[in-house]
Structure 1
Amino acid sequence: MANYTAADVKKLRELTGAGMMDCKKALDEAEGDVEKAVEALRIKGQKGVAKREGRSAENGAIVSLIADDNSSGVIVELKCETDFVAKGEKFQSVADAIAAHVAKTNPADIEALLASEIEAGKTVQAFVDEANANLGEKIVLDRFAQFADGYVTAYMHRTMPDLPPQIGVLVELDKQTDEAAAVAKGVAQHIAAFAPKYLSKEDVPAEVVEAERRVAEETTRAEGKPEAALPKIVEGRLNGFFKDATLLGQPYALDNKKSVEKVLQEAGVTLKRFARIKVGI
């Protein structure tokens, strides 16, 4: 039997993210040599990439990178199969490297990002595939957000203290002011908690508005309300939908007597756009 200790198994798991039994088997085959075991796991990992394609990647992390002057920022979601890998330094370093690459190259979309070169001769897709092989799990990169046209900041929320951030919010104000940092942070925290779908009424697609109107009309008629009162009731319910679904219409989390729009107005700033990403959703 190969000569290795529990500490060697632990070290190999930390280096590769592989499961305990895989690490023990690799150490057996490498006769206790950790470096050879790492190499063996990497080779097996490359062979196993295709086998992992059908597996579910619902864990992971959101990482952010904000310019020192808050003129730009990015958030990136990198997914994996287990929280064990998500918590690992190697997984998070891969996510951080991708975020830095996004900030540097400004890709137009996820397809452009995956096709771009993160290292000489290596695309981001190949970089992700390499992480897949090294960590022994399915690793997926399919979402990011990047803003660079105002005052940009991010809020990262941990759902569990021992996990990396699972929710990331990127916000962009129209300008930098004395109050911008505090307001942007507060609104980003609000977005993380309440998950608005749209920024304002004007941003809600027409087909969504019409569908909500139909539901409101059918519900009101089913309740037996007078036909003459129908338009007013429907508009009231539609306004309720806008209040719930749009960021500017929602009561502000830190002062529910004011809407988010009112808080921004009082601070003298405009929220241009936001992005909210939750791991796996």
Structure 2
Amino acid sequence: MSSDISAQTVKELRDKTGAGMMDCKKALQAAKGDIAQALESLRLKGLASADKKSSRKAAEGIIDSYIHTGGKIGVLLEVNCETDFVARRIEFQNLVKNIAMQIAASPTVEYVSTNDIPSDTIENERRIEALKEDLANKPEQIRDKIVEGRIQKRLKELSLIDQPFIKDQDITIEELVKQNIALLGENIKVARFERFTLGVS
């Protein structure tokens, strides 16, 4: 089988394991499309159970800060895990640092996930898109589809966990977090963050 793995096969493996899309795709490519072999590979890495841990309560963790070189951009970030033991692990602390750096490097990001975006913000974005000149002469059904596609793209621009990781563009922040859930064996949640830009209130 070629290295082109169908989206349907990737989805099937994701449904069976709960691992991230890119992890599933890489496992399938390495296994030449063999789902059973890819499944075993993900289990060995501990990725197959990451999603199952994501429903567990995460009340420990750390609040960390990152000040970008030059002192003009700063980030304050809270990331939670299940135990103080994991919060003290260097891997967890490195994850938090990486996420803080990601926020500093992502000026469009305002929310942890698209689920956190208020409905009135979404409606406002939808209204702006619907009034754009390039859509004026399109049939309503096509216009609605284009608007919805643009809205989804815009919401992902606002969402931290949907951003490609600055140190590895093949994975998103969500997948980076899942990798660390698998590594550390605990649920990990990005709770909240604040980005400060000098001179901007």
Relative to the length of structure 1, the TM-score reads: 0.42
The answer to whether structure 1 residue 150 and structure 2 residue 61 are counterparts is: yes
2:92 is matched with which residue: 180, 183, 198?
Answer: 180
For residues 46-74 of structure 1, give each alpha carbon's deviation from its aligned partner in whole angstroms, at most 9, with x where no partner exists: xxxxxxxxxxxxxxxxxxxxxxxxxxxxx
Following TM superposition, by how much is the alpha carbon of 1:150 offset from its aligned partner in structure 2, in angstroms? 2.3
User: 1:211 & 1:201 partners in 2: Cα distance?
Assistant: 15
Number of aligned pairs?
129
> Aligned partners of 2:94 and 2:119: how far apart in 1?
34
RMSD: 2.1
Relative to total residues, which structure has the larger helix share, 1 or 2? Answer: 2
Q: What is the CA distance between 1:168 and its match in structure 2?
A: 1.5
Partner of 1:198: 111
Secondary structure of the 1:174 match is strand
Residue identity matched to 2:137: G
Q: How far apart are the structure 2 equivalents of 1:259 and 1:241?
A: 16
1:237 deviates by: 0.5
1:275 aligned partner: 194
The code of the aligned residue for 2:142 comes to A
Deviations 1:125-153 (A, max 9, x none): xxxxxxxxxxxxxxxxxxxxxxx962222
Once the two structures are TM-superposed, the CA of residue 179 in structure 1 deviates from its matched residue by 2.3
What SS is found at the alignment partner of 2:124?
helix
Shift in alpha-carbon separation, 1:229–1:222, aligned structure 2, 3 A: closer
- What is the letter of the counterpart of residue 173 of structure 1? V
Larger Rg: 1
Change (3 A) 1:233 1:220: farther
Matches within 5 A, 1:1-281: 150-159=61-70, 165-175=71-81, 176=87, 177=89, 179-195=91-107, 196-219=109-132, 222-268=135-181, 269-281=188-200
Q: Deviations over 1:181-209 (max 9, x none)?
A: 11111111111111311111122122211
RCO higher in structure (CA 8 A, sep ≥6): 2
Q: TM-score, normalised by structure 2?
A: 0.58
Shift of 1:223: 4.9
Answer with 183-192 or 148-157: which moved more.
Answer: 148-157
Give the CA deviation at 1:221.
6.3
Percent identical pairs in the alignment equals 33
Give the whole-Å Cα distance in 2 for the aligned partners of 1:231 and 1:266. 37
Local SS of the residue matching 1:248 = helix
The Cα of 1:220 is off from its aligned counterpart by 7.0
Given residue 199 of structure 1, which amino acid in structure 2 is its aligned partner? V
Distance 2:136 2:176 in 1: 37
* Post-superposition offset of 1:240: 0.7
Preserved contact between residue 251 and residue 257 of structure 1 (Cα < 8 Å): yes
Q: Distance in 2 between matches of 1:271 and 1:215?
A: 30
1:150–1:173 Cα contact (<8 Å) kept: yes
Q: List runs of 5+ in structure 1 lacking aligned partners.
A: 1-147, 160-164
